Amino acid sequence: MATDAITKYTGKRGTSWQVRVDLGPDPVTGKRRQRMKTVKTEREAKILLAEWRTEIERGIVVDPSKLTIAEYLQQWITTVGPNVRFTTLERENTVVTKYIIPTLGAVPVQKLTAIQLQAFYNGLLHRGASVHTAHYAHIVLFQALKQAERMHIVVRNVAADVTPPRYKRPQVVVWTSDEVARFMALAVQDTTYGPIFQVAILSGLRRGELLSLRWADLDLEHGVIRVRRTMAVTTGGIEEHEPKTTAGRRSVILSRTGVQVLREHRVRQMQQRLKTRTWEDHDLVFCSDRGTIINPPNLYRTFNSLIDKAGVSKVTFHALRHIHATLLLKDGHNIRAIQDRLGHSDVSITLGIYGHVLEGMDRTLADGIDAILSRSVAPRDTDLTTKAAVQSPTD
């Protein structure tokens, strides 16, 4: 196995020093790679070796002019890995290995052109990939090439010069207030998972936030939920971590109904705990009948069963969050307050998801301005004439 080395050579032209570093196997061919260069002095050799080792630590393992898209993206994934959630890394790795590398992997990163990228996106769509997949591939490439630009591997991020596939977020299906009432009436009867469905609708919390909620996070006396962590299902199991943004780490005020739901749920949970010898105490608000983390498929089975019984529109569990926000928006509540409640880092995110709801309220707003102005009655013409006559000087 090759190792890094500095070798001295003496010949007719004098003494020279060869620097060699081991770059490991090629990620595509599996062949071992080395980087070599000959310099005139030992000092130059030592400086060069130190520079190359630094580059390797930064993720630049070959001469940038020879670095392929496949090599660079695999290094980039390794570099960004510690800075993103595991679920995000999984999605990025999937789009890199399944879509980008098979088509663009052999292209030197410095020779990638905007035309090649545009053709790549069009080819994905032509081969049956969804617009969302093609759009996400663009996001990954844009971020990766932006990093390459910062590291001076490429002169320009060519992903900035293309027109990416336009992805329009699908309009979320939500329930009417009548459908919510029907579903909630059945959820009350389900003492196992019913409470989590009710609190989801009443609070707007995400599934991961609900599943990771501890009793220590609740202040039922004042009706406050403190969101401090979230859970995500990954290929490696269930992962718990802090919210992705500062806005995600928040306090949510519960309604009186929500407080009552949780108080009753806590009593039932304590009763279940006393009669279960194998109870595992993790202080979870919503848990299995043994105190462990809820298995999402079990949650979804009950959720879909209640939907069928209630005769309401088919929605995902995440849609309960959208239902919460939509009902508040339609009732005229402030979008900035709803943004804070949902834990969105920017109001543009809230507007992007619920803009269609606000558009539907435009007629109500138009009628509303008439109603406001009608409360200020203008003086009648006869009143103006009389007033003018009184104020006019006599002949």
Residue ranges of domains in the chain:
5-57, 69-161, 177-314
Cβ within 8 Å of residue 84, ≥6 positions away: 92
Structure tokens belonging to residue 72: 């660079």
Structure tokens belonging to residue 30: 């599996």
Segment 282-298 mean pLDDT = 92
pTM, full prediction? 0.66
Residue position matching structure tokens 């009389």: 386
CA distance 306 to 293: 21
| DSSP secondary structure of 303-368 | HHHHHHHHT-----TTHHHHHHHHHHHHTT--HHHHHHHHT-SSHHHHHHHHHHHHHHTHHHHHHH
Selected residue with higher pLDDT from 64 and 148: 148
Per-residue pLDDT, 361 = 66
Structure tokens belonging to residue 310: 């209630």
Summarised one tens digit per residue, pLDDT across range 170-191 is 777 889 999 999 999 999 999 8
CA 2 to chain centre: 42
CA distance 10 to 154: 37
Assess contact for 32 and 20: CB atoms under 8 A. Answer: no
φ, ψ for residue 17, nearest 5 deg: -130, 125
Confidence label for 346 from pLDDT (cuts 50, 70 and 90): confident
Summarised one tens digit per residue, pLDDT across range 131-175 is 999 999 999 999 999 988 887 788 889 999 998 888 777 777 889
Assess contact for 335 and 350: CB atoms under 8 A. Answer: yes
pLDDT above 70 for 362: no
Assess contact for 297 and 262: CB atoms under 8 A. Answer: no
Confidence label for 394 from pLDDT (cuts 50, 70 and 90): very low
Most confident option among 2-11, 82-91, 195-204, 385-394: 195-204
Per-residue pLDDT, 357 = 74
Most confident option among 27-31, 52-56, 81-85, 125-129: 125-129
What dihedral do alpha carbons 135, 85, 345, 224 form, nearest 10°?
Answer: 140
Per-residue pLDDT, 22 = 80
Structure tokens belonging to residue 3: 């190792």
Q: Does domain 177-314 have CATH number 1.10.443.10?
A: yes
Q: Does domain 69-161 have CATH number 3.40.630.30?
A: no
Summarised one tens digit per residue, pLDDT across range 233-255 is 766 667 788 887 888 899 999 99
pLDDT above 70 for 60: no
Say whether 177-314 and 69-161 share the same fold.
no
Average pLDDT, the chain: 84
Cβ within 8 Å of residue 195, ≥6 positions away: 187, 261, 262, 264, 265, 286
pLDDT above 60 for 380: no
Per-residue pLDDT, 48 = 85
Strand order in the sheet with 32-39: 5-11, 14-25, 32-39
Selected residue with higher pLDDT from 259 and 84: 259
pLDDT above 90 for 392: no
Assess contact for 103 and 69: CB atoms under 8 A. Answer: no
Ramachandran category for residue 135: left, alpha or beta (phi over 0 → left; psi -120 to 50 → alpha): alpha
